[in-house]
Every structure is written in structure tokens, then in C-alpha cells.
Amino acid sequence: MPRFDPELDPERFLPLPPATFHILVALADCDRHGYSIMQDVAARTGGKVKLSPGTLYGAIRRLLEGGLIEELDERPDPEFDDERRRYYRLSRFGREVASAEAARLARLVTQARATGLIPKRS
């Protein structure tokens, strides 16, 4: 029987700070470099959430250390991209954590709906 490793329990990371969750969401569908993450987050929130470089890279450092994302070794063709850019990918564990956070938020929304805070779905 595999032993339960608390270090690898996704629940341990919850709730995620908003900026961190945004980054994980941005990386959910494709690998991105830092600036691309910033742009994606801004686009998906209609410009309401603008990650600053300090916040972004601080969060990336923690996500890398926690094993939630990985840095890619391979780079796009240098003709299309700057060599300095580093690309990140959501790890399997990171995906589990992001899903757990999404489920947590969904449960929260369901509860809000049940109490009439937001209109029920027709």
C-alpha cells in the first residue's frame, strides 16, 4: 500500500493566493513564458488583474520550489523568441492542486448561489 505523503497532498496548498491560481490557470492549456502569463491573465480578467513582474516571478519561484510547475529545457526557435525567456509548464501535481482549488472555488460559488447571493442558474 503506498504511503500517504503529506508533502504531496494538494489540499496542503489550499487556498491558493489569487495571483498563484491565475498563473496556474494561464499554464493549464499551454506552456508559456513569464510575459505571456502576464498577458494571458490580463486578457482573461479584462485587464482587471495585472501581475507585476515582482509578484509574477516571486510566485513562479515558489511554484517551482513546490513542484507545481516545471521549467522547460527546450526553447522555441531562437528566431521566434528571445533566448532569455524561460518557459514554464504545469506539472501533474500542479494540475492536481489547481483542480483542487478550482473545485474549492466551485463549491464556494454553489454555496453562494444556494444562499441567494448570486442568481441561480436557470
Partner 1 sequence: MDRLGMGLRISIRLYRCLLVLYPAPFRHAWGGEMVQVFRDRYLEEQARLGLLGVFILWLAAAADVAVNAPKEHSSMLLRDIHFAVRSFRKSPSFTATAVVCIGLGIGASTCIFSVVNAVVLNPLPFPDSSRLVRVYTEFPGFPGGGLHRFALSPPEFRELQREGRTWSQLEAWATGGSSLKGAGEPVRINICVVSGGMLPLLGAKTKLGRLIAPSDDVEGLRQTVVLSNGLWKRAFGGDRKVIGHEIWLDGAKANVIGVMEADFAFPPGANEPAEAWIPLQLTAQQMTRRGNHFLSALGRLRPGLSQQQAQAEVSAFVKRLGERASPNSHSIHPKGHPLVFYPFHDEVIRNVKKAMLMLLGAVGFFLLIACVNVANLLLARSDVRQREIAIRKAIGAGTPHLVRQFVVEGLLLSGSGAVLGVLIAWVGARLIAVTNAGMIPRVTEAGLDLRVLGFAVAVSIATGLVFGMAPILQMVARPLYVSLQATAGRLAGSRRSNRFRAALVTAELSLAMVLLIGSGLLVRSFWKLQQVYPGMNPAGVLSVRISLSSNAYDDAARLRGFWTALSERLANLPGVVSSGLAGGLPPQRFAVQNDTEIENFVQRPGGPIQNVAFYQAAGGRFFETLGIRLTEGRFFDGRDGAGSPPIVIVNRTMAGTFWPGESALGKRIKPGGAKEWLTIVGVVEDVKNAGLDKPVDTEIFLPAAQRNNAFQTAYALVKTEGDPSRLANAVRRAVHEIDPAAPVSSVRTMEEVLAESQSRPRFLALMLTLFSSLALALAAFGVYGVISYSVSRRASEFGIRMALGAQRSDVLRMVLWEGTLLGGAGLVVGAVGAIALNRGLEDLLFQVNPFDAATFLGMAAVLAAVSMLACWIPARRATMADPARTLRYE
Residues that bind partner 1 (CB under 8 A): 33-35, 38, 52-58, 60-61, 82, 84-86
Q: In sequence order, what are the residues at sequence separation of 6 or more whose Cβ sits closer than 8 angstroms to the Cβ of residue 27?
A: 37, 69, 88, 89, 90, 94
* Nearest-approach distance from CB 34 to partner 1, in angstroms: 5
In the complex with partner 1, the residue whose CB is nearer, 12 or 113, is 12
* Nearest-approach distance from CB 32 to partner 1, in angstroms: 12
* Nearest-approach distance from CB 17 to partner 1, in angstroms: 12
Give dist(CA 14, CA 33) in Å, integer.
Answer: 24
Asked if residues 24 and 16 have their Cβ atoms less than 8 Å apart, the reply is yes
Name the residue among 38, 45, 79, 74 with its Cα closest to residue 59: 38
In the complex with partner 1, the residue whose CB is nearer, 62 or 95, is 62
In the complex with partner 1, the residue whose CB is nearer, 35 or 114, is 35
Q: What is the DSSP letter of 17?
A: P
* Nearest-approach distance from CB 56 to partner 1, in angstroms: 8
Strand order of the sheet with strand 32-33?
32-33, 87-90, 69-71
In the complex with partner 1, the residue whose CB is nearer, 46 or 116, is 46
